[in-house]
Amino acid sequence: MTTNLAGRTALVTGGARGIGAAIVRRLHADGASVAITDVLVDEGRALAASLGERAAFFEHDVASDAAWHATVAATREAFGGLHILVNNAGIYEPGSIAEADLAGVERQIRVNQLGTFLGMRHAQAPMREAGGGCIVNISSIAGLLGFPGAAAYVGTKWAVRGMTKTAAVEFAPDRIRVNSVHPGFIETPMIGKNSAEANRAGIEATPLKRIGQPDEIAAAVAWLVGADAGFVTGAELTVDGGWVL
């Protein structure tokens, strides 16, 4: 089932590969113009070129306020507005509270948490000018539970969940809906940082007994930004094969 997004512009951070690229392809297929942003320049440009019209790539450090200002401005110049923001960019560096590298902790906070905060801040005004919009923040099942050995990542994903609910209340008068998506074990480069044993345990803990696919997260995002979800804001949509159950 497709969503009619014709005439709307989406900005997807971390859009060059993995879940982000799947979201880009889905929103583009549903008719949206899509700004793909990432620090992975070659992959981002290749994806934009493969999509052709209604797609553009912008190099973008989501932890930089100045970069957000420039990227939103470039998106509006390229496509005439901004109606959808998907804050997908994220990094994962394992580490316990006692032993985690502090530089890695700070990197995760800046990309996962600050990046999402800045995205919402910079999207509000153009969406208000457009008469409304939709923001989807990609959190994780790690934003619902505790995971030993991933304290910084878990903390940032809980923060994304909380900021989503706060923004949903603050942005409602501007007709901007804000929701979060919480993927489980999804087949992306990120899970390659886990041990094989940890990944096997993750699949075993999933009632559907399989790993999820990026397209399944993209489908959830497409629904949230579409008209069928017009009365949905502040929600957390878990796409995890039943893992948190």
Active site residues: 153
Q: CA–CA separation, 121 vs 1, rounded Å? A: 31
Q: Which of 207, 155, 159, 168 is nearest to 184 (CA)?
A: 207
Cα 65 to Cα 34, 164, 178, 184, distances in angstroms: 21, 19, 20, 30
C-alpha radius of gyration, the chain, whole number: 17
- Three-state DSSP at 135 gives strand
Q: Strand order of the sheet with strand 176-183?
A: 55-59, 33-38, 9-13, 84-87, 133-138, 176-183, 236-239
Q: CB under 8 Å to 41, separation ≥6 — which residues?
A: 57, 59
The dihedrals phi and psi of 37, each to the nearest 5 degrees, come to -125, 145
Angle CA(30)–CA(37)–CA(131) in degrees, nearest 5?
55
Tally of CB atoms within 10 A around 30 = 20
